[in-house]
Amino acid sequence: MATPWPYSHPSGEGDVDKIHDFLITHTQDGILTWVVEEQAAQEFSLTYQEVELTALAAGIMPGRYQKNRNTLSLADQATLLKSHVAVIGCGGLGGCAIEGLARIGIGKMTVIDPDSFEEHNLNRQILCTINVFGMAKVDVALTRIREINPAVEVVPVRDAFSKEKGPEMLKGVQVVVDGLDSIPVRIQLGEVCSNTGIPIIHGSIGGWYGQVTTQMPGEHTIREIYQDYSGEEGIEKDLGNPAFSPALIASLQAAEVCKVLLGMGKCLTRRMLFFNILDMDMETLKL
């Protein structure tokens, strides 16, 4: 359990000033390097997230985020670091979304998937390597996120999403990423999010094709897209999914997550982008 922020750390409140001074003293050109971040975490018994939030509040950019500068401000990075996102499904879309969200510095990620990695995941699922066959996808996700960004708190849930368990699974979550591979479960997820007030970034893929849209609380976009569809799968049942489709759609999902959290730009609400990578066409559908 992460310490709430702003926190009263056991080592004493006076330490906040000491940490601040330490960071100021060891910062070069407004950048906090990883080496100094590690030192600060050890010296003051803080989590990396606490060190990064202290730095950001002091106008110091953790080195890992320096190339986000002028796209994301210090305040934006702090907002992301205090955010909680759930990724439902850790396969093709979910894996790529997790990768992007960890790198951009989402402070807390709940990752949900009941499955383990198998050989047929290798063609597209970024978390899958020959060394992780048989391992739980959520455990591999946890390891990957920690390797990329230890400031991210991870809650791995090795379970299938269901409408019964959904509200409990998504407690405290601010934005959901749909990385599922079942149309009926997607509809359930969309409805749970709608009813519990959580924006959800829907993405799905099949062969050379993919779609992405953002559903805000109270909307039923996902249900409307699939309507009374009775099947479990769509065209991906015949076409499979190559490496580039999840990478494309999940990147857009990760970007939408950040925009929703930061209130930036124009989100894909009541619009769906439909990609045809084979013919390099994109349609914007008004829903």
Partner 1 sequence: MPITVKLFASLRKGRFDEDTRVYASGITGRSIVRDIGIPEKEIRLVFVNGRHASLEDLLADGDTLALFPPIGGG
Q: Is 273 in the site for partner 1 (CB under 8 A)?
A: no
What is the gyration radius of the CA atoms in the chain, in angstroms? 20
Euclidean distance between CA atoms 215 and 84, whole angstroms? 17
Coil vs helix vs strand at 156: strand
Q: How far is CA 117 from the centre of its chain?
A: 20
Out of 109, 145, 246, 261, the only residue in the binding site for partner 1 (CB under 8 A) is 246
Cβ proximity to partner 1, 7 vs 208, nearer residue:
208
Binding region for partner 1 (CB under 8 A) out of 7-15, 47-55, 89-97, 161-169: 89-97
Out of 6, 12, 231, 265, the only residue in the binding site for partner 1 (CB under 8 A) is 231
Out of 26, 57, 115, 229, the only residue in the binding site for partner 1 (CB under 8 A) is 229
Cβ proximity to partner 1, 111 vs 225, nearer residue:
225
Binding region for partner 1 (CB under 8 A) out of 9-17, 53-61, 153-161, 218-226: 218-226
Euclidean distance between CA atoms 270 and 287, whole angstroms? 5
Q: Is 234 in the site for partner 1 (CB under 8 A)?
A: yes
Binding region for partner 1 (CB under 8 A) out of 78-86, 140-148, 162-170, 224-232: 224-232
DSSP codes, 67-80: GGBTTB-HHHHHHH
DSSP codes, 34-54: HHHHHHHHHHTT--HHHHHHH
CB of 146 to partner 1, least distance (A): 23
The β-bridge relationship of strands 209-215 and 271-276 is: antiparallel
